[in-house]
């Protein structure tokens, strides 16, 4: 068993990886599922927070939150037929994008959780715990709120305001707090910087990362640009995971690019 599962997405759909992070907003997501059908161990379907609120700078999901929950649930139904374990994140609202903070992000996220759990009880939902940027106490309060409303029905919970923080000590303290407040549940932390992986691995079950291109910066002095460079970055990413005990030898070999 690996020490920490790192969900990711290879640079190209034909590359194997056992723990996929996909989004219905990405037109290639179905191709990753089809190429890995029957061999992918786990997939988390993300709601596309980065694209909607960071890249597009919106304040609400296109079509409204009900439409977006429906869209994520629909993709989960498809993926669950092809993957051993499929999970879907309830669409949430970030507070940690400095250029686009979403007012009332906690309240809106709780509303979405209520809608998703009520309309689609069959989906393996990952319940996102939102909070204010760099505030452990607000995350703790949200956990209490979700408990009081009976919304922690899922055994998989995601700590959400972690994508922007680059403070390993903060992420460590947040992981410790989350584990203390969520005993017996699996915990995911979104977008945790690789510098903090070793600090949180004892307290959470999974994180995610799709920034393998940063490994090109270490190796080539720049971000990945060409197909070959993306494959170089992906290989370095896999080697890092294996060295940390986050990827088995077998999965490492299966995930390597075939040059």
Is 254 inside a domain boundary? no
- Most confident option among 54-58, 103-107, 245-249: 245-249
Q: What residues contact residue 194 under an 8 Å CB cut-off, 6+ apart? A: 209, 240
Q: Within 13 Å of residue 56, how many CA atoms lie on the same side as its CB? A: 12
Residue 201 pLDDT level (bands cut at 50, 70, 90): very high
Mean pLDDT of 146-173: 90
Asked whether residue 104 carries a pLDDT value surpassing 60, the answer given is yes
Q: Which domain, by its residues, includes 103?
A: 5-210
CA 243 – CA 236 distance, rounded (Å): 11
Q: How far apart are CA 179 and CA 202, in angstroms?
A: 9
Instruction: Kindly state whether residue 232 falls inside one of the protein's structural domains.
Output: no
CB atoms under 10 Å from CB of 59, counted, come to 13
Which of 209, 147, 131 has the alpha carbon at shortest distance from 184? 147
Residue 74 is assigned to a structural domain of this protein = yes
Residue 19 in any domain: the answer is yes
Does residue 247 belong to any structural domain of this protein?
no
Tell me the pLDDT tens digit for each residue of 26-58: 889 999 999 998 889 999 999 887 787 766 767
The mean-pLDDT minimum among 89-93, 148-152, 164-168 falls in 164-168
pLDDT above 70: percentage of residues in the chain: 95
Q: With 80 as the cut, is the pLDDT of residue 101 above it? A: no
**pLDDT value at residue 99:** 57
User: Which two structure tokens, joined as six digits, stand for 13?
Assistant: 């759909």
Total domains, the chain: 1
Which of the pair, 54 or 10, is modelled with greater confidence? 10
Given a contact cutoff of 8 angstroms between Cβ atoms, the answer to whether 247 and 255 are in contact is yes
Cβ neighbours, 10 Å, residue 221: 7
Distance CA 101, CA 104 (A): 9
**Token digits of residue 164:** 């922007």
pLDDT at 46: 93
- Whether residue 112 is contained in a domain is answered as yes
Lowest-confidence range among 19-23, 70-74, 162-166, 182-186?
Answer: 162-166
CATH code assigned at 148: 3.20.20.105
Residue 228 lies in a domain: no
Among candidate residues 238, 92, 96, 245, the one with its CA nearest the CA of residue 167: 96
- Taking the whole predicted model, whether its pTM rises above 0.85 is answered as yes
Q: Identify whether 252 is part of a domain.
A: no
User: Any idea which of 5-14, 124-133, 213-222 has the lowest mean pLDDT?
Assistant: 213-222
State how beta strands 85-89 and 125-129 pair. parallel
Calculate mean pLDDT across residues 103-123. 92
Determine the average pLDDT of the residues in 234-256: 96
DSSP class of 14: T
Does 224 score more than 90 pLDDT?
A: no
Please list, in sequence order, all residues whose beta carbon lies within 8 angstroms of the beta carbon of residue 187, skipping any fewer than 6 positions away: 156, 157, 158, 159, 175, 178, 179, 203, 204, 205, 206
């Amino acid at each position: 068993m690996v020490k920490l599962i790192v969900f990711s997405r290879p640079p190209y759909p034909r590359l194997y990886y056992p723990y996929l992070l996909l989004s219905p907003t990405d037109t290639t997501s179905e191709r990753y599922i089809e190429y890995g059908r029957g061999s992918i161990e786990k997939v988390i379907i993300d709601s596309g927070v980065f694209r909607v609120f960071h890249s597009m700078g919106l304040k609400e999901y296109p079509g409204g939150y009900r439409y977006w929950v429906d869209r994520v649930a629909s993709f989960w139904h498809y993926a669950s037929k092809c993957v051993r374990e499929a999970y879907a994140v309830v669409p949430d609202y970030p507070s940690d994008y400095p250029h686009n903070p979403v007012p009332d992000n906690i309240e809106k996220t709780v509303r979405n959780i209520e809608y998703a759990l009520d309309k689609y009880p069959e989906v393996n939902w990952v319940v996102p715990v939102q909070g204010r940027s760099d505030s452990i106490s607000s995350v703790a309060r949200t956990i209490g709120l979700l408990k009081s409303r009976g919304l922690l029905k899922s055994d998989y919970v995601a700590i959400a305001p972690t994508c922007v923080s680059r403070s390993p000590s903060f992420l460590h303290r947040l992981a410790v707090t989350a584990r203390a407040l969520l005993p017996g549940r699996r915990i995911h932390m979104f977008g945790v910087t690789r510098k903090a992986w070793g600090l949180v691995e004892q307290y959470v079950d999974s994180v995610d990362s799709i920034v393998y291109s940063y490994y090109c910066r270490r190796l080539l002095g720049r971000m990945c640009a060409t197909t070959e460079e993306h494959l170089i970055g992906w290989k370095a990413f896999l080697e890092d995971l294996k060295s940390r005990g986050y990827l088995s030898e077998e999965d490492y070999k299966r995930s390597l690019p075939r040059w």
